Structure 1
Amino acid sequence: MPPCDLAGRGVLVTRPAGQADELCRLIEAAGGRAVRLPTIAIEPALEPQPLAARLAEPWDLMYFVSRNAVEQALALMPDGRWSNVAQVAAVGRGTALALAAAGRAPDLVPNERYESEALLAMPELAAMQDRRVLIVRGDGGRAIFAETLAARGAEVRFAEVYRRVRPAFDPAPLLARWSEAVALTLATSDEVLLNLVEMLGPDGREPLLATPLVVIAERTEQTARGLGFVTVKVAAKAEDGAIVQALCDLNGQD
């Protein structure tokens, strides 16, 4: 890999507030300046009791779609072991680490791209006839995992243990110093990206689209290009180190 040097450039970090610390640390270790702008706030579900009951049921597979899903499920079931669950799956490294810290390391985690499609390609999920699957997630979200497993014969249910809220934000102060404050930005999901566009408003659209962007999935790259982003790079993995390396690669193209 080429040396990772952000050379004092400002990087707009759009992750939720509680999940940005390590990424910001790595950006600053690479010589960059982390500019925090959380585009999603995580709130607990409005009716937790039915969710706790659902989590306590026996399941053949419990699939956690994010670290937020793990943390909010733990708030509902503090022992974190889910003893009635035969297998636990996680979509990415951060989610897997959160599960391991809670006392139940996942049985299934993709090795390369941390996406539902990579998990669905694992041989352990090929035969799902009559298996009970619980998807632990926030409100809404992608349907591909549920639809695919249902097509393979599984009984699929959801536990939507948190809500994603777009924070209130006045973009004027940031936009007034955009050219000197922000040289690069990143988005770890379509929702993060779309919220960012909305939060910056009409006045922020042109400078944002001209700012090089790092994403962690090809589908988000497609969304970004559809919005009009000029320069988009997909990180090699959905990990903080790979995101920072992608930022450095873009910085080196100037």
Structure 2
Amino acid sequence: MSDWRLLLTRPAEDCAALAQTLAAQGIFGHCLPLLAIEPLAETPEQRSLLLDLDRYDAVIAVSKPAARLGLELLDRYWPQPPARQRWFAVGPATGALLEAYGLDAHWPEHGDNSEALLALPAVQALLNMPDAQVLILRGDSGRDWLAAQLRARGVRVDFLPLYRRVLPDYPAGTLLATLREQALNGLVVSSGEGLSNLQQLAGAHWPEVARLPLFVPSERVAELARAAGALDVRNCHGASAAALLAALADQSESR
């Protein structure tokens, strides 16, 4: 796997952690964060949802920023979390934050995506409850597919937007210069939004960038990448470091 030299695009803190994990396996990763987290100002709508938190049977945190910001608000409005409420996370890193807080948290052991979350027995039990209500902690967009699946099963779903993800301000030509200077031979994005920002930063150089192997977390993002013109899309079946390492190992063995 050590011949891979990857562009990593997660938010800065996550990017640095991923680069360190890859380095321990002899894989070079260069960080160029394409997503920055900006907390949203609290609104009356947010406050209302939080004050009524105990009416939800379950709360889903879709990311580590959603968990961190959501727990800060939970601390502010609820000295004790609502009893008998279940909390879910899409992946283990987010789930660990919830569990460390002392919540009854559940997340998929295999696959950190919406599909794996829906397959959890605890979520299936929730789907069978009459008049179930779920609150999804997220950014200002995302996880619409997850909400649609829950609603199709009769679950009432509300969103609590806590942050927005923006493309950091880079000088023109930064992406291509970075790829060349660091001799990178692969790209990693963790979401559809990250893919969109990659295209935006590439600008007129996107056709050249799109020839590189592109590692993505799910088939949905893979389809977006192919539609955008990416020529070598590789589905990691998850956004975790372990999922990326497994995909890299598979690709190396198939060479």
Q: TM-score, normalised by structure 2?
A: 0.86
Residues 127 and 154, structure 2, Cα contact 8 Å, conserved in 1:
no
Match of 1:155 in 2: 156
Change (3 A) 1:168 1:253: farther
CA deviation string 1:169-201 (max 9, x = no partner): 124244235245211111111111111110121
What pairs up with 1:9-48 in 2 under 5 angstroms?
A: 9-47=4-42
**Structure 1: runs of 5 or more not aligned:** none
CA deviation string 1:39-73 (max 9, x = no partner): 11111112256424423421211111111110111
SS at match of 1:11: strand
Aligned equivalent of 2:197, options 153, 178, 195? 195
CA deviation string 1:219-240 (max 9, x = no partner): 1111111112221211244321
Match of 1:98 in 2: 97
CA distance in 1: counterparts of 2:19 and 2:178, whole angstroms: 20
SS at match of 1:206: helix
1:248 is displaced (CA, Å) by 4.5
Aligned equivalent of 2:58, options 57, 61, 67? 61
Name the count of aligned residue pairs: 247
RMSD of aligned C-alpha atoms? 2.3
SS at match of 1:46: coil
- % identity of equivalent residues: 34
Matched, 1:6 2:7: no
SS at match of 1:20: helix
CA distance in 2: counterparts of 1:43 and 1:177, whole angstroms: 25
CA distance in 1: counterparts of 2:178 and 2:60, whole angstroms: 42
Residues 62 and 85, structure 1, Cα contact 8 Å, conserved in 2:
no
Match of 1:225 in 2: 226
CA distance in 1: counterparts of 2:41 and 2:145, whole angstroms: 25
The structure with more helix, counted as a fraction of residues: 2
SS at match of 2:85: strand
Runs of 4+, deviation exceeding 4 Å: 251-254
Match of 2:85 in 1: 86
Match of 2:139 in 1: 138
Change (3 A) 1:48 1:25: farther
Match of 2:68 in 1: 71
CA distance in 2: counterparts of 1:85 and 1:199, whole angstroms: 45
Q: TM-score, normalised by structure 1?
A: 0.86
CA distance in 2: counterparts of 1:49 and 1:228, whole angstroms: 42
CA distance in 2: counterparts of 1:17 and 1:90, whole angstroms: 21
Change (3 A) 1:86 1:173: closer
SS at match of 1:176: helix
Residues 91 and 119, structure 1, Cα contact 8 Å, conserved in 2:
yes
